[in-house]
Amino acid sequence: MNHLMAVILAAGEGKRMRSKNSKVVHKACGKTLIEWVCQAVESAGVDHSVLVVGHRADQVKECMGDKVKYAFQTEQLGTGHAVMQAEEYLKDKDGYVIVLCGDTPLITAETVSNTIEYHKSNNNSATVITADLDDPTGYGRIVRDVNGNVLKIVEHRDTNDQEKNIKEINSGMYCFNIRDLLEALKALNNNNSQGEYYLTDTLEILINKGLKVGAIKVKDSNEILGINNRAQLAEAADILKKRILNRHMMAGVTIIDPGSTYIDEEVQIGIDSVIYPGTVLEGRTTIGEDCIIGPNARLVESRVGNGVEITNSVVLESSVDDDTHVGPFAYIRPGSKIGKQVKIGDFVEIKKSVIGDKTKVSHLTYIGDAEVGKNVNLGCGVVVVNYDGSKKHKTVVGDNAFVGCNVNLVSPVVVGDNAYIAAGSTITEEVPENSLAIARERQVIKQDWVIKKGIQKKK
């Protein structure tokens, strides 16, 4: 049986990131660097992946869980040494293994697939993924023979004048026949200035044995970019963002200003929706068709129906159903469910609450831990007083209720269907359906009180 496997190198400390975290768990467009690489491998049809971990291995394992196997490199003794640690998963297997770097999030499934097919069709023992760079300084050069076969890889510091002019560089990513790789690893040594085992040396070992080593060049050199610092992380994230935005636009979404729009990789958006500038869409957010999102909206892990408009507002881990309008300046906190044809207006905050269809919460209102029915009107300045200083309590407002301006609903309390609450009331007891509740002092006028107090201001 021919196996198709991947070994992904993710053990490095990444000192230039200036971080206490593993380099490969830093995120770009909603996914960690290692997730981007593993996604490319999985999409290319690779059967099994092995991550070689070391520094902060706990973080990498927490990120990837049981989706992959793990090999541990306790000492950082080079790329060849790292691959050696995965030997237990490779031994006694026929087939192919692709070796990738865990800090190259721009590698695509297409490139992985093309590399494997090229490797097979050319009967190579090893295939190097390469790229042409205008300035190859610092990279190992690919030296080929007249037939295009790889003769050797020369590190930049070891190049002669002729080799310095070679533009094709080594990406550090390869495809091997599994058995040939294992034999070459046995012949590796660390007789070099760094005292490390270099995976590149396996190519020369294979060539000296008369085996064929080829190279496949990526169309876009960005794919091989590795992340070594925060500036490079931002550069890679920008490239990923452009890919994501382009995918959505090609699928029928209008993005007014791609330069000021941020969308995570797992976001889904329906056709004919319009995304305005300053919008941030994160996590597994889904947006339906014919929506208007933004300007300056942020949605995280939320579900939005069809025909929804969200303007200058934040929606976190919540759902907003069809034909609802949110904003401007609304704040929908986690656990909220907003129904169809609802109006959530300016400076309204909803926290862990259900808002029924056709309900209007137009402005300056807080609703927390509540169930609000259908076709309810909540006036300006309504506050659900859900916290007694130690516990949260629930408020229920029935269908077709009308709650006047500046009303406090002190939880736990129930307002029945079709009930009315007069403006300025503080409600602490149940309001039966079809009732009017008034909870305020009768107005008292004291004539000339200001004069008697001597506090009248002179003109």
Structure tokens at 393: 């309590």
Structure tokens at 217: 């060049």
Res. 325: pLDDT tops 90: yes
Structure tokens at 154: 């020369």
Q: How many CA atoms lie within 13 A of 100 on its CB side?
A: 35
Percent of the chain clearing pLDDT 90 (strictly above): 88
Mean residue pLDDT across the chain: 95
Structure tokens at 429: 């007891």
* CA–CA distance, 288 with 172 (Å, rounded to integer): 42
Res. 300: pLDDT tops 90: yes
Check residue 450 and give its pLDDT.
86
* CA–CA distance, 384 with 367 (Å, rounded to integer): 5
Check residue 329 and give its pLDDT.
98
CATH value of 2-224 in 3.90.550.10, 3.40.50.360, 3.30.360.10, 3.40.50.300: 3.90.550.10
Check residue 193 and give its pLDDT.
77
pTM (predicted TM-score): 0.91
CB contact set of 113 (below 8 Å; sequence gap of 6+): 44, 45
| pLDDT digit string, tens, across residues 416-457 | 999 999 999 999 999 999 999 999 988 889 999 888 988 888
| Secondary element (H or E) of residue 231 | helix 230-250
DSSP state at residue 411: S
Instruction: Burial-class residue 367 by CB neighbours within 10 Å (0-12, 13-18, 19+).
Output: buried
Decide: helix, strand or coil at residue 185. Answer: helix
Per the annotation, the verdict on 363 as an active-site residue is yes
CA distances from 76 to 55, 156, 224, 415 (A): 9, 22, 22, 66
| pLDDT digit string, tens, across residues 212-261 | 999 999 999 999 999 999 999 999 999 999 999 999 999 999 999 999 99
Is the domain spanning 313-459 CATH 3.90.650.10? The answer is: no
Indicate where the chain has its CATH 2.160.10.10 domain(s): 313-459
User: Whose CA is closest to 345, among 331, 330, 323?
Assistant: 330
* CA–CA distance, 408 with 88 (Å, rounded to integer): 67
Indicate where the chain has its CATH 3.90.550.10 domain(s): 2-224
Radius of gyration of the chain (CA): 31
Write down the catalytic residue from 81, 119, 248, 363.
363
